Chain A
Amino acid sequence: MDGYYAFMLIATALVLMMTVPALALFYGGMSRSKSVLNMMMMSYIAAAIVGILYVAVGWSMGFGGEGTFFANPFELFWLDGVTPDTYIFVMFQMTFAIITVALISGAVADRMKFAAWVLFVPLWALLCYFPMAHMVFSCTEDSLICGRIGAQDYAGGTAVHINAGVAALVLVLLLGKRFGWPTDKMRPHNLTLTMLGAGLLWFGWYGFNVGSIVPGDDFETQFALETGRTFANTTLATMAAVLGWLVVERLIHKKATSLGAASGIVAGLVAITPACGAVDIEGAVAIGAIAGAVCAWAVGLKFKLGYDDSLDVVGVHLVGGIIGTVLIGVFSTSDGAGGIDGLFYGGGLGPLGDQTLGALVAIGYSAVVTAVIALAIKYTVGLRLSEEDEVEGIDFVAHGESAYDLHTSTLGGGSTGVLASRTAVSEGAQA
């Protein structure tokens, strides 16, 4: 299958693009102008750290053999014994590990020490993502979620989205609210970046979902049937979610917003991720529409319950991930990749139970392990910036930079920039 191999090269590059730069743009636009660079840096540094760690032990823990929670980290240590014709599959799985960690960063905007993030990233990848990837994607007979429970998850509703969403929730509970939240205005500073990021995420997601095909016996036939299904389902669910989100917004808040459309794209993609191989296109539209509508409501929960999930990682990824994972039990058809009929196709309540149990195990594992890691960091180097630094802005405090040098000139007179350059000189003199 030369075509399959060439396709995986492209799919892998697409999934890496989802983090660098798509997710960074999506989150960066929603953050404030004084913390956009830090927000983007959290994705970029996650790519660098997790990528190298994945090659060291991640592949081995995920796909190096048997195990309920993970395989022997040293079986394929530094890809020992792995031949280069397998490297593209290592790289593909590596990009999943990267984006899962980066997804969490949206919850901690403005206030998490950069050093704490740099510590959190490898620890969380090692203890939370690599094991979860084994439990879900290796599908060895003794692997917990795929092998033992038998829950379907085509591309990562549990391992990626529920996992990152729960981690985000635990982290913001330990980190606390931003100073002034929710009374201070913390509106998105540049939604054009967010719209661009959401569009690039959608594009990259074809690599993520369609590339998650696992070759079977009659692969020629399987490849065309299954990639057609996953590509169409990914597309239709996303479209349905955009409409679902906007309708809810229009009814409750009187306006259909651009941020709502961008968020609907991501909510739909998240929900169809586990389900794209299992359902028909009717099921995909239903799952997308439900995810768009429910997530549009769920992003308001943080105000009711009082947790500062800054860019709604919980409301979109945890809620969307649960919806997609559980609804497989309803909309799955035996024509799909898993060969299982769900509730609406005469399969009874069994598959729904398996899917729900799979989601609960993912939630529980992620919550416990993330809490241990975050508490360890909190009581050693600390998680939080000082109040003074947070108000000053983490871009300048952590990275010594400002994202923008803008001087308004809508009158047509332009700007000479002399005041700005004076500021720069005095800042340089201080440093």
Chain B
Amino acid sequence: MKLVTAVIKPHKWEDVREALETFGVTGMTVSEVSGYGRQKGHTEVYRGAEYDIALVPKIRIEIVVGDDDADDVVGIVVKTAQTGRIGDGKVWVSPVDTVVRVRTGDRDASAI
């Protein structure tokens, strides 16, 4: 099993969710996060004083999938969330040892 974590632009979130649902992903955890990559933040001006806002708002999606599906899910996120401009985000995949469904106690593949 793999954990796919994607950090994407907020306005792409609905498109990514729909594409993943169409592919067959049944659930995910989503959070609003802030951070920055190469694009850095932006500048705001209040009464002539410039403020560098370092952190940019992003959406983080976390999905646990079977080993075979990980590459497809990554591909879908990249294809859907891409605008080609700086600040599109990142996707990474990490190994998962164990998954347990709280309601039934099912483990691993049957818990996904």
Contacts and interface: CB of A to CB of B under 8 A. Distances in A.
A408 B51 CA distance: 23
A412 to B, nearest CB: 10
Contacts of A413: 30
A399 interface: no
Contact of A411 (B30, B46, B52): B30
Given A410-B32, A411-B13, A411-B30, A185 B51 contact: yes
Interface string A390-431: 000000000000000000101101000000000000000000
B51 A249 contact: no
A410 B13 CA distance: 11
Contacts of A249: 48
A312 B30 contact: no
A5 interface: no
Contacts of A127: none
B32 A259 contact: no
A303 interface: yes
Majority SS at the chain A contact face: loop
Interface stretch (A83-91, A164-172, A204-212, A250-258): A250-258
A347 B49 CA distance: 41
B86 interface: no
Contacts of B50: 253
A408 B58 CA distance: 13
Given A408-B32, A410-B32, A411-B32, A300 B45 contact: no
B47 A260 contact: yes
Contacts of A411: 13, 30, 32, 59
Contacts of A182: 49
Contacts of A187: 44, 46, 51
A187 B47 CA distance: 10
A249 B48 CA distance: 7
B102 interface: no
Given A249-B48, A263-B47, A303-B49, 13 more contacts: A182-B49, A185-B53, A187-B44, A252-B48, A254-B45, A260-B47, A296-B47, A300-B47, A300-B48, A410-B32, A411-B30, A411-B32, A411-B59
Nearest to A185: B51
Given A408-B32, A410-B32, A411-B30, A299 B47 contact: yes
Interface in A160-215: 182, 185, 187-188
- Complex A-B, nearest 9 residue pairs according to Cβ-Cβ distance, in ascending order: A300-B48, A299-B47, A253-B45, A187-B51, A185-B51, A187-B46, A259-B46, A408-B32, A188-B46
Interface of B: 10, 13, 30, 32, 44-53, 59
B43 to A, nearest CB: 10
Contact of B48 (A185, A188, A299, A410): A299
Interface residues of A, number: 24
Nearest to B50: A253
Interface in A246-289: 249, 252-255, 257, 259-260, 263
Nearest to B48: A300
B49 A257 contact: no
A255 B45 contact: yes
Nearest to B13: A411
A410 B45 CA distance: 25
A257 B13 contact: no
Contacts of A252: 48
Which one of B45, B48, B51, B59 has the highest number of Cβ atoms from chain A below 10 Å of its Cβ? B48
A263 B59 CA distance: 35
A296 B32 contact: no
Contacts of B48: 249, 252-253, 296-297, 299-300
Contacts of A408: 32
Which one of B10, B47, B49, B59 has the highest number of Cβ atoms from chain A below 10 Å of its Cβ? B47
Contacts of B13: 411
A264 to B, nearest CB: 11
Nearest to B10: A410
